Every structure is written in structure tokens, then in C-alpha cells.
Amino acid sequence: MLQNEVLEATNVAAAQSAKDYGIRVILNAAPARPLGPDLSAHVDLLVVNAVEAEMICGVAVTSLSAATEAAALLSEQVANVVVTAGGLGLAAAERGEYPVRGSRSSGKIDRHPRRVRRVYRRAGRPLG
């Protein structure tokens, strides 16, 4: 699990090393900054919140539909993306697939579409 509180070069080196050992790489892109191609090429799953998604791809995440749009755009840079949208829920996208979204109520996700689970599973993180 990487995050952006270190230099991009440090994340790139860590991601490359992880890949050399067959380890899946998750990037929680906080604080937000543009994703360089050297880093995004080694990331299996990108996780961003609404603010980070807007800063990286330019889509204001004010609804679950907007989160889905942001996830689809970000999946052009990283194959698997989850955009969390606070109390609205989350959206997930896999490159080349139609993005999906999950709803949230009472602070707990009630249901996860199978494809949201698949995005997490591919990154080696169970979602139950």
C-alpha cells in the first residue's frame, strides 16, 4: 500500500520492487497529485476519495454518477480504480469494463456489486 506523502520517485521504486516480487500494488493517492506514467504503470489498484479524484482527473464528485465517471476516467491511467464518495457510496472501474457503483446508508455499505468485489480481489484485498 503506497500513499502520496512521500516523493513520487520513492513510490515508483517501491512499486517496481513490489512487482519484482509478485506483490500487488495499491496506491491511496492522498494527498492528491497528478499520477506520473512511471508510477501508474506499476499500480494494480488506485483508491481515491472525491476530492482526490477531482484533483487528479478534473471531475467534481458531487454524486455517485460523478464518482462513476471519475472512476472510468482514472481507469485509463490505472487498470483498477475505486472512488469513495463519502456517504454517497463508492464507484469502481476496471479498464475496458463498464464502471459500477455501490450505495451506502447508515455509514455502512449495504451491498457491493460483484465487480466492485472483483476489483478489490484483484488487488489482493478481500471485501466482505
Neighbours of 115 (CB within 10 A): 17
Q: Which pLDDT band, with edges at 50, 70 and 90, does 2 fall under? A: very high
For the chain, the structural domain boundaries read: 2-122
Mind listing the pLDDT tens digit for each residue in 41-66? 999 999 999 999 999 999 999 998 99
Give residue 7's pLDDT.
96
Q: Which pLDDT band, with edges at 50, 70 and 90, does 77 fall under? A: very high
Mind listing the pLDDT tens digit for each residue in 99-125? 676 655 444 443 444 555 566 565 554
Cell of 14: 517501491
Q: Give yes or no for residue 95 having a pLDDT over 70.
A: yes
CATH topology of domain 2-122: UDP-N-acetylmuramoyl-L-alanine:D-glutamate ligase (3.40.1190)
Q: Give yes or no for residue 81 having a pLDDT over 50.
A: yes
Are 15 and 45 in contact, with CB atoms under 8 Å apart? Answer: no
Neighbours of 53 (CB within 10 A): 29
CA–CA separation, 1 and 25 (whole Å): 6
* Strands in 1-128 per DSSP E: 2-3, 26-28, 45-49, 80-84, 89-94, 100-105, 108-109
Average pLDDT for residues 1-29, to the nearest whole number?
95
